[in-house]
A = this chain, B = another copy of it.
């Protein structure tokens, strides 16, 4: 899993039927010091996250489908938690 920031949303009215009701979030993966890491990507929302929130994302199809609660959904990334605190003990 990675830590990311929700930075936007995507609207796609014509989409695969298994996506019905799914919210698509644009998320930016972060480094431990909260600077951006790599490029932004799209993830389905599995926890009711909002823009600007720091979230926990999974980057794998099976896991993302589970997050959406639809086993056969054609998704490969999902927001699965909202991050409260990151404790780095040694780095």
Contacts and interface: CB of A to CB of B under 8 A. Distances in A.
Tell me the number of copies of this protein: 5
Majority DSSP secondary structure for residues of A touching B:
mixed
Nearest to A16: B80
Interface residues on A, range: 35 or more
Interface string A40-72: 111110111001100010111111111100011
A90 B44 CA distance: 18
A81 B16 contact: yes
B40 A91 contact: yes
B77 A1 contact: yes
Contacts of A14: 47-48, 81-82, 84
B47 A15 contact: yes
A5 B90 CA distance: 9
